[in-house]
Chains A and B, each alone.
Chain A
């Protein structure tokens, strides 16, 4: 009985460009979700995602070392090693999965990893709540 509920609507959380092209999403709570989830909960999720993306794009020692190593090995190191950004993306994917399992799916929502949309939007799928139509 793995029948998913029908999709009722989709909300797209857009990127927040106020600080340039760094990856940030708008934390503004969309009105479509007002009846489905707490505002705090949702904003917390988006804020955590923003922090994770900031960590991925950070110009820190790790990225610097990675760059030097890549230059020295004529970029062959990319064949065997995962870049810092990719590592954080995996972390983000895990976080989203966990959020979906714990918080969003029980409320009939589903977050889609924004990397699938080119880091342009976070897609929130709203499922039909048939139980209330009875």
Chain B
């Protein structure tokens, strides 16, 4: 059947890449069975008991009309249930490799002038296209994800949204018809209400009346969505609350797109034509100019050898480049690009790269397999130590110039490791979002049937987003993970530093990556990374609040010391708020996980004052009275905190419960008096590990809290889920 494919059950059957078989869960089939029973059962009763009289005494057209409407409803119901919503097949290994080692968690893309983020899906191994979301029920990324509908036990996405919408329309019509004609029957049989026919008709009317309210409400909701060109996911997560939807083409075009566009093809279960082309050397070559011969050919994508050897060869290559000569590269790479001498033009070629997202490569290892973990890990550690001896800041500056985030070896490896070490762990993030799904359903009144398990609207910590100012950096969003306070070290161009490789890691042990990453040798990079911080990227210091401070204590006496000289008002204020939110959350609700985390990391603390310092801070959080003594600073910082709260209050609390560190907004309403005092303390304490830091940083907080908006030219729109859209003004 060309039109049908199993929608709700697993991935493509016999497709190029199929999802692993999922366990059979009978509870998933209860709502759809109930819906089918009610629909078919009630309509059958209506036809059997009410329609004969109607056909005879009113008109013969009535049953025919009702039958047509019912068949239409049933057809759309079946299509919505059984049609593949637009599931993306898992990306194959080779596609993943080019991005795996050092790619950020988010990729930003500009759609009609609006910045839209694409998130890395660790399950499906690609950056989710815009409007795509990963459904945790179906365990698939779905194109133009609307929602997962339990009543049809299927995701509603690009391919079957039309059928779902028509199902709603036709069902509303059908319910109204059944109720209306039933009413006609009952009104004509007022004296004979005790007959079985009348009784059944009244029962059917009750069922119809009962279902009419939610179904009609849902239909109205979707009519509005279609007219506005939004998906349920976007509407409920408030992505376009600021008002600009890049995906709309006007009301009429939106409606015609939904109703009249050609049926989109399915991606799963496609017949793959066998490769009929024979590729044999010798190959034709275009005529090469001298400049082209001099240009370095980038090493992109899959190689025949393994990942570890590839990274090794990349390292060799990089080291040879630093000699700034034109010797032939080591034998292995030469095999791939024979006859082409490599020059040290990596930067120039990187600058011409296509991807629009500049980022720092900070973290090399990928965690796709335990084996790879070890081999990959050894390299960055090696790199860190080697690089940390040099001055990291020039390398950071270098990296910020580079627009691409391809997995290219570069001299910024040393600096990059730090970012990677504090990058987001998307694995944890994905898990953390799950509970957010059901929580989000409560938001939509009457739409109780939806389970918004899409993972794209991950970002609860919208306060962090807001506090991040104009930065598109979504690395803060990776603060979705409960175990990842070191969500973001951002010391690069525009975007985030949460890394795919960390997300791909199995989220078993929160401390695993940090143990290995947070070694003393890393701290110099961290420190120098702080130099790079611009006003719009304050979250570099955010991770300090927990783990990083512990291990980085002695060397990094001052991630804050460069900041003191730097005096970015926005930066300091944001740090205070972030730290406050995070530690408040940690102390108030999740003190034990935090301490567990601290314990886990503390095996390698250079100074024992680190953990005790943070504990000290945690305890101080709860002691509001002593903090109130810092009234001048606290009062000045509080407006900044409070101003962040209102936009953040809508997100369902359930979303944030699992995430310890996020959220000034979340903590704010609950701990208002404390937060202001706590913020100052935290702003002081968290920024640096050393004892002298608190006072100095709090002074900067006091002095410089006023600015809280990013630089001009960019309007930032944030949504409930914390997703940020930037609109160039």
Taken together as a complex, chains A and B put the C-alpha atoms of A75 and B160 apart, in Å, by 12
B95 near A5 with CB under 8 A, answer: no
CB-defined contacts of A78 to chain B, threshold 8 Å:
1-4, 263
Contact of A17 among B71, B72, B109, B336 (CB under 8 A): B109
* Interface: A119 (CB within 8 A): yes
User: A57-97 vs B: 1/0 string, CB under 8 Å?
Assistant: 11100111011001100110011001111100100010001
Whether A31 lies near B352 (C-beta < 8 A) is yes
The answer to whether A120 and B129 touch (CB under 8 A), given A34-B292, A78-B263, is yes
Cβ-defined contact, B259 with A36, below 8 A: no
Q: Is B306 an interface residue (CB 8 A)?
A: no
Instruction: Give complex CA distance A20, B109 in Å.
Output: 10
For B16, the chain A residues whose CB sits under 8 A away are: 116
CA distance A116 to B284 in the complex (A): 27
Q: A116-B272, A121-B95, A133-B338 given as contacts; is B302 within 8 A of A7 (CB)? A: yes
Please determine whether B353 and A84 come into contact, CB atoms closer than 8 angstroms: no
Bound state CA distance, A116 and B297, in angstroms?
Answer: 27
Residues of B within 8 A of A121 (CB): 95
**Min C-beta distance of B129 to chain A, whole Å:** 6
Residues from chain B with a CB closer than 8 A to the CB of A5 are: 279-281
Answer whether A118 and B88 are a contact pair too, CB < 8 Å, given A9-B301, A36-B285, A129-B283: yes
In the complex, the chain A residue whose C-beta lies closest to that of B78 is: A75
Q: Which residue of B lies closest to A86 (CB)?
A: B265
B262 touches A63 (CB 8 A): yes
Mark contacts of B637-654 with chain A using CB atoms, 8 A cut-off: 1 yes-contact digit, 0 otherwise.
000000000000000000
| Residues of chain B contacted by A37 (CB below 8 angstroms) | 286
Which A residues are in CB contact (< 8 Å) with B352?
Answer: 31
B259 close to A67 (CB less than 8 A): yes
B328 interface residue (CB < 8 Å to A):
no
For residue B116, CB closer than 8 A to chain A, the reply is yes
User: Which secondary structure dominates where chain B touches chain A?
Assistant: loop
In the docked arrangement, what's the CA distance between A115 and B307, Å?
A: 27
Q: Does B75 contact A (CB under 8 A)?
A: yes
Does B37 have its Cβ within 8 Å of any Cβ on chain A? no
| Bound CA–CA A37/B288 (angstroms) | 10
CB-CB under 8 A from B79, the residues of chain A are 75
The answer to whether the Cβ of A49 comes within 8 Å of any Cβ in the partner chain is: no
Is A52 an interface residue when CB atoms closer than 8 A count as contact? no
Taking a contact as CB atoms under 8 Å apart, the answer to whether A28 and B281 are in contact is no
A84–B261 Cα distance when bound, in Å, is: 10
Q: Is there an interface contact between B262 and A56, defined as CB atoms closer than 8 Å?
A: yes
By a CB distance below 8 angstroms, the chain A residues around B247 are: 20-21
Chain B residues near A36: list those with CB within 8 A.
283, 285-286
Number of residues in B with C-beta < 8 Å to the partner?
81
Complex Cα–Cα for A101 and B292 (A): 26
Is the beta-carbon distance between A18 and B112 smaller than 8 angstroms?
Answer: yes
Contact B112 A79 (CB under 8 A): no
Set of chain A residues within 8 Å of B336, measured between Cβ atoms: 8-9, 128
Q: Which residues of A contact B537 (CB under 8 A)?
A: none
* A107 lies within 8 A of B284 (CB): yes
| Chain B residue at minimum C-beta to C-beta distance from A32 | B300
Q: Are A130 and B281 in touch, CB under 8 angstroms?
A: yes
Chain A residues with CB under 8 A of B2: 78-79, 82-83, 86
CB A33 to nearest CB in B, in angstroms, measures 9
Q: Which residues of A contact B303 (CB under 8 A)?
A: 8-9
Name the distance in Å between A70's Cβ and chain B's nearest Cβ: 8
B353 adjacent to A31 (CB under 8 Å): yes
Separation of A37 and B247 alpha carbons in the complex (Å):
35
Cα distance A63–B259 in the bound complex, in angstroms? 10
- Which chain A positions have C-beta within 8 A of B292? 34-35
CB neighbours (8 Å) of B71 from chain A are 74
* CB-defined contacts of B98 to chain A, threshold 8 Å: 10, 12
* Nearest CB of chain B from residue A89's CB, rounded to whole Å: 6
* Contact present for B282 and A101 (CB under 8 Å): no
Quick one: CB contact mask for B164-191 with A, threshold 8 Å, 1 for yes?
0010000000000000000000000000
Q: A34 CA to B353 CA in the complex, in Å?
A: 12
Residues of B within 8 A of A34 (CB): 292, 295, 297
By beta carbon, the residue of chain B nearest A111 is: B277
CB interface residues, B 248-263, toward A, < 8 Å? 249, 253, 256-257, 259-263
Pick 14 A–B contacts, CB within 8 A, sort by A: A4-B280, A19-B111, A31-B298, A31-B352, A32-B300, A56-B262, A59-B260, A63-B260, A74-B75, A104-B277, A106-B284, A120-B88, A129-B338, A131-B281
* Contacts beyond the supplied A79-B2, A131-B283: 5 A-B pairs with Cβ under 8 Å: A8-B337, A9-B336, A35-B288, A78-B1, A97-B277
Q: B interface vs A, CB < 8 Å?
A: 1-4, 16, 71-72, 74-75, 79, 88-89, 91-92, 94-95, 98, 109-112, 116, 126, 129-131, 143-144, 163, 166, 246-247, 249, 253, 256-257, 259-265, 267, 270, 272-273, 275-286, 288, 292, 295, 297-304, 335-340, 349, 352-355
A residues engaging B (CB < 8 A)? Answer: 2-12, 14-15, 17-21, 26, 28, 30-32, 34-38, 56-59, 62-64, 66-67, 70-71, 74-75, 78-79, 82-86, 89, 93, 97, 100-101, 104-110, 113, 115-121, 123, 127-133
